[in-house]
Chains A and B, each alone.
Chain A
Amino acid sequence: MTMTLNTTLDDSGEDKIDTEERIKIRDIEIVDVIVMTGSAISALALSYFFFQILLPVSGALGFLVCWYVFFNIISTVAIWELRGAVKAKDHLARTFIWTGGMIAVVPLILVLGYVISKGYHSLRPQFFTQDQKFVGALSDATEGGGAHAIIGTLEQVGIASLISVPLGITTAVYLNEVKGRLTKPLRMIIDAMSAVPSIVAGLFIYAAWILALGNQQTGLAGSLALAVLFLPTVTRTSEVVLRLVPGGLREASLALGGTEWRTTSRVVLPTAKSGLVTAVILGVARVIGETAPLILTVGGAFVMNANPLSGKQDALPYFVFRLIRFPQEAQVQRAWTGALVLVILVLVLFVIARAIGGRGPDNISRLKKRRLKRKGLA
């Protein structure tokens, strides 16, 4: 039976929406706010007294710590007296957890800020176009550049991705879509290999590829070391992403008479696409900053070598790692510039990954919309 509501009632309801005043819900009660303000001020006074007059030490950090301790003691005792033990514990837990959350963010800001402040004055356009060929340890920090290292890093990470990404994703497809006898042992070995410390991956390539097989230290060797690290990560993260595709979608496709291949290529992978791309980009962002395996494998160079297959090559992280330990101020300065460029690269990749990850699979790209329109489907 369908219901029809009295229309006069409806109209009065429509009018009310704007006139009704919604209740504002306070997260923290006024008493607490007053107590906390009071405690903050008295803690300030108390720590000034203790810190400046009684203790013979000084320093902003010590003062802050002192203030924080006093603030917590005073406010907790006050709330305990006014509102009981439960509220006091709640208050204390709240302050600690807020503090913890903030503490986790502070180093990020400090690290990024420090790298930027150290690196930006000698960052010149030629850092991206020149190498260190005509640069000595005593030349000015703004001379020469890190183009050779940037090219090296891009090539090494590119080759590593070319090896790992397709292999990793198809392996993940095997683990999650095809399934077979290998599933269990493969998953086990991948879990194990993702625990390989990065330096051990480098050591492996150094021992197997360079010492045992007699190859030179080249960009390729670096790529292989990075690939050793990258492959298990890509496989694991892609598998997680594929597992998030609802089973119902697969079954629906199979029930419509789709083959496994069409199900995977037309249903599973497109659904998981943005997740996969995000996983891969985040993986690249991690690999691009890997230093340890490159120390053993690429050899390092001060001049441009665009050929990853022969001759020593440089890499941005290795460039930074080497120069930072020079005694000359200019070299250290160059290392900071390199570090800044590295951080920028990572940040750019991170932002791209975030932007893609934020888009769901139902979000049809503009390009695709245009294509559909041409076919008269949208």
Chain B
Amino acid sequence: MTSIDTTSSDRTTMSSDISSLDPGHKASGLTASNVACWFGTKKVLEGVNLDMAPGQVTALIGPSGCGKSTFLRTLNRMHELVPSATLAGEILIDGVDIYRGAIPVTDVRRRIGMVFQKPNPFPAMTVAENVLAGLKLSGLKSTRSERDDLIESCLTKAGLWNEVKNRLGDPGRALSGGQQQRLCIARSLAVSPQVLLMDEPCSALDPTSTRRIEQTISEISETITVVIVTHNMQQAQRVSHRCAFFLAAENEPGRIIEEGPTKAIFSNPHDPRTNDYVNGRFG
């Protein structure tokens, strides 16, 4: 593993000023090596090795219950929130282990953002407050104009600005499902993450909203590494640069069967099981 100088990112975590969130920052690469996960004594994932290159969109595909969501949650330490959940292996962001002490867990989660399957805006907050929630939670100070700029830029990036610019004071729950999900994306972007994890972000949305979110993903992927779990083969083809196919046999932990450039996975897979899956023969 190449070890990269981490002083710049450390500066970000130590300083408590919004200006430290450099908008032109570089995306970070994530590397998982030999990751295994358990719920209690049940092993759900093993031997996962995956490189998620900076500035690229990696799609995790596979049938339900093959461990791809679990894997995604290990990438920003959400997995450990489940009682009895344990894991082994190594996950590195820019060469630094996220589990073994070098970075505090809250900073891991701020640098590696996450968008969930179900939109989860904070209902007690307005649209604008929702966008700024991450700043409040991680204690970043900002001036009023900085905040206004941030709200506008994040909502624009998430493709929501035009729809809500006159409704910033409405509660987050007043928006439609698709808008709520984009609000959640804007909320994640506001703390300038280097990686954004998305757990089936479009599974509960209509086609138009899905389209919008896919656009957003391609726009942000220049500056942010995106890892997305999806059940939708077309979506994986549309948005991702690379693909990893997960599969779990009955009563076996999930594994990566095949991993590579999206084009190759879909047009010329090595493994017959991948071929069957991407062509919709099971799953």
Contacts and interface: CB of A to CB of B under 8 A. Distances in A.
A176 B43 CA distance: 43
A30 B105 CA distance: 13
Main secondary structure of the interface of B (DSSP, over half): mixed
Given A20-B88, A22-B87, A23-B99, A5 B252 contact: yes
A16 B282 contact: no
B142 interface: no
Interface residues of A, number: 23
B47 A4 contact: no
A84 B104 CA distance: 12
Interface of A: 1, 3-5, 9-10, 13, 16-17, 20-23, 25-26, 29-30, 83-87, 89
Interface string B266-278: 0000000100100
Contacts of A87: 104, 106
A26 B106 CA distance: 13
Given A30-B101, A86-B139, A23 B88 contact: yes
Contact of A22 (B16, B38, B138, B253): B38
A86 B80 contact: no
Given A3-B249, A5-B252, A25 B99 contact: yes
B255 A20 contact: no
Contact of B46 (A13, A25, A84, A86): A13
Contacts of A23: 86-89, 99-100
Contact of A84 (B86, B87, B139, B255): B139
A13 B252 contact: yes
Interface of B: 14, 16, 34, 36, 38, 43, 46-47, 80, 86-89, 99-101, 104, 106, 137-139, 247, 249, 252-253, 255, 273, 276, 281-282
B43 A1 contact: no
B190 to A, nearest CB: 16
B138 A86 contact: yes
B179 to A, nearest CB: 29
Contacts of B104: 29, 83, 87
Contact of A13 (B16, B138, B253, B282): B253
28 contacts: A1-B282, A3-B247, A3-B273, A4-B249, A5-B249, A9-B255, A10-B252, A13-B47, A16-B47, A17-B43, A20-B34, A20-B89, A21-B88, A22-B86, A22-B87, A22-B88, A23-B87, A23-B88, A23-B89, A23-B100, A25-B80, A25-B99, A26-B101, A84-B139, A86-B137, A86-B139, A87-B104, A89-B139
Contacts of B249: 3-5
Contacts of A9: 255
Contact of A16 (B16, B36, B137, B276): B36
A71 B43 CA distance: 43
A86 B255 CA distance: 38
Contacts of A85: 16, 139
Contacts of B47: 13, 16
A110 to B, nearest CB: 32
A16 B43 CA distance: 11
A87 B137 CA distance: 10
Contacts of B80: 25
Contacts of A3: 247, 249, 273, 282
Contact of B16 (A20, A25, A29, A84): A84
A85 B276 CA distance: 53
Given A17-B43, A30-B101, 12 more contacts: A1-B281, A1-B282, A3-B249, A3-B282, A4-B249, A16-B46, A22-B88, A23-B87, A25-B80, A84-B139, A86-B106, A89-B139
A89 B249 CA distance: 47
A25 B83 CA distance: 12
A9 B252 CA distance: 11
Contacts of A17: 43
Contacts of B86: 22-23
Contacts of A22: 38, 86-88
A17 B47 CA distance: 11
A16 B252 CA distance: 13
A83 B14 CA distance: 7
